[in-house]
Amino acid sequence: MDVHPELLLWNSSVVSLQMGNTSESTHFASKIRKEYDVFMGSLYTTFCILSLLGNSILLLVAYRKRSSLKPAELFIINLSFSDLGMTVTLFPLAIPSAFAHRWLFGELTCLCYAVCGVLFGLASLTNLTALSSVCCLKVCFPNYGNKFSYSHACLMIMGVWCYATVFAVGPLVNWGQYAPEPYGTACCIDWYAPSQDALSMSYIICLFLLCYALPLGIILLSYILILITVRGSQQAVQQHVSPQTKTTNAHILIVKLSVAVCIGFLTAWSPYAVVAMWAAFVEPVKVPPFAFALAAIFAKSSTIYNPVVYLIFKPNFRKSLSRDTAQIRRRIYSSPCKGSPLPGEKDLQQASLRCNKDPSHSTRLSNGLADSHGGCPHCSEAEHQCQQTPALRTACVLIGSSCSEMTLSQLPEKVHADLL
């Protein structure tokens, strides 16, 4: 019977990783062309730099606005931690190995690399799922979403890490297996093991269903419900405002964020899921090693995609970053005329003065929002309209504010700033 030589080499790699019986020069050699490895090493270097910058900036912004963070935003911080964990544990090993055209760090490090890759990768994936479900709860079911607190967020974050840990530790206790990647310069789950072991097959099936198909379904369903709810509320708001304010379209911003998150999830994890299922259940010997290498590139790109999405599409994060950047510029380029504000700073100062002149704006409600009791001359009109129009009441709940805090013409701007 003819046996494919790549399958023989792979089997020897698995045995070597678990038993240490063959030489490292054989099973840790690259299975793809040298120029492909150089290409991967160059991409990984770029990913590493951008991930460190993007996630560090996101965490810095979150730290600077820590007193005003919402419970749902804790998931964005946790996402940055998991992406940074993947960055600092995988890229420093994968980059030199790719340029060297072979794995450089031995069997034990290969095992640790595989565990960290699964742990941080699944933590990021599960965290995106939890974030989308919380956003859906707050927007579509505000009676329950308004009760979501920091303690609830912390419990869910702990659940995210426990969920990822189960699948990361599974192969260490013989539920599944770790092995060198088919392309040779990294390590991950043994995708060929299901053809030889029933436990490994059950692990791969659970991994696909519970860590890809189920999260994908939750994310898509959550953002579809969010878009439907916000669209209805936006239409209700625009029926009661002047034509000039209709140009402020929070719905477009929410659509962009929803589409960006869904595309990011599909782009990062779908190639690896398809290739892994192909190798596990179809014909493993016909899966080219470069297919796994390409899928790994897409998966690792998620470390730079996530921070970019939230820094661009979350208005409060973007505004906080702009303020911090303006402060840094002011300190670096301090002019002799110290009383002269930077461009754009004058408006912020005037807004601050207006808030200080109105004592009611300094009072905070239990949910952290400003409470104004009769401070706005137009409140009665806005409150009356909200009480008479159920859809407008929904819009007020969506933005986390009472109708008496603003005029009707301010509703779209408030949604634009605070909903996401």
What CATH number does the domain containing 160 carry? 1.20.1070.10
Concatenated DSSP letters for 330-370? Answer: HHHT--S-TTPPPTTHHHHHHHHHHHHH-GGGG-B-TTS-B
Q: What percent of the chain has pLDDT over 70?
A: 64
CA neighbor of 180 nearest in space, from 167, 169, 170, 193: 193
CA neighbours closer than 13 Å in the CB half-sphere of residue 50: 15
Q: What's the pLDDT at 415?
A: 42
Give the span between the Cα atoms of 349 and 403, in whole angstroms: 26
Q: Which residue has the tokens 């409600």?
A: 365
The model's pTM: 0.72
Q: Six-digit token pair at 3?
A: 């046996």
Residue 88 has pLDDT above 90, yes or no: yes
Q: Six-digit token pair at 281?
A: 């259940």
Q: What's the pLDDT at 170?
A: 93
- Are 30 and 37 in contact, with CB atoms under 8 Å apart? yes
The predicted model gives 156-171 an average pLDDT of 95
Question: Per the domain annotation, does 23 fall within a domain?
Answer: yes
**Higher pLDDT, residue 363 or 154:** 154
Q: What's the pLDDT at 68?
A: 80
Q: What's the pLDDT at 229?
A: 83
Identify the weakest region by mean pLDDT among 188-192, 194-198, 236-240, 290-294: 236-240
Q: Which residue has the tokens 């690259």?
A: 30
Instruction: Determine the 3-state secondary structure of 378 from DSSP.
Output: coil
Question: Per the domain annotation, does 282 fall within a domain?
Answer: yes
The predicted model gives 269-292 an average pLDDT of 85
369-398 pLDDT, tens digit per residue, is 444 444 444 444 445 554 444 444 544 544
Confidence of residue 25 (pLDDT cuts 50, 70, 90): low
Give the span between the Cα atoms of 85 and 87, in whole angstroms: 5
State how many domains the chain has: 1
Q: What's the pLDDT at 97?
A: 94
Instruction: Determine the 3-state secondary structure of 294 from DSSP.
Output: helix
Confidence of residue 365 (pLDDT cuts 50, 70, 90): very low
225-273 pLDDT, tens digit per residue, is 888 887 777 666 666 555 444 434 555 666 677 778 888 888 888 898 8
Q: What is the dihedral of CA 256, 262, 263, 266, to 10 degrees?
A: 180
Question: Per the domain annotation, does 205 fall within a domain?
Answer: yes
- Helix axis angle, 106-140 relative to 73-100, nearest 10°? 150
Question: Per the domain annotation, does 395 fall within a domain?
Answer: no
The predicted model gives 352-357 an average pLDDT of 50
Identify the weakest region by mean pLDDT among 11-20, 188-197, 332-341: 11-20
Question: Per the domain annotation, does 80 fall within a domain?
Answer: yes
Give the span between the Cα atoms of 130 and 111, in whole angstroms: 28
Give the span between the Cα atoms of 21 and 321, in whole angstroms: 54
Radius of gyration, alpha carbons of the chain: 26
Q: What's the whole-number average pLDDT of the chain?
A: 74
Q: What's the pLDDT at 338?
A: 47
Identify the weakest region by mean pLDDT among 93-102, 113-122, 191-200, 349-358: 349-358
Domain range for 311 is 5-321
Question: Per the domain annotation, does 373 fall within a domain?
Answer: no
Identify the weakest region by mean pLDDT among 17-26, 191-200, 298-307, 309-318: 17-26
The predicted model gives 13-25 an average pLDDT of 46
Question: Per the domain annotation, does 392 fall within a domain?
Answer: no
Count of CB atoms situated within 10 Å of the CB of 206: 15
Instruction: Determine the 3-state secondary structure of 248 from DSSP.
Output: coil
Q: Six-digit token pair at 123?
A: 């933590």
Residue 252 CA to chain centroid, in angstroms? 20
- Are 175 and 199 in contact, with CB atoms under 8 Å apart? yes
- Are 201 and 114 in contact, with CB atoms under 8 Å apart? no
Q: What is the dihedral of CA 370, 373, 379, 381, to 10 degrees?
A: 130
Residue 119 has pLDDT above 90, yes or no: yes
50-84 pLDDT, tens digit per residue, is 999 989 988 888 888 888 888 888 888 899 999 99
Residue 148 has pLDDT above 70, yes or no: yes
Question: Per the domain annotation, does 174 fall within a domain?
Answer: yes
Q: What's the pLDDT at 19?
A: 40
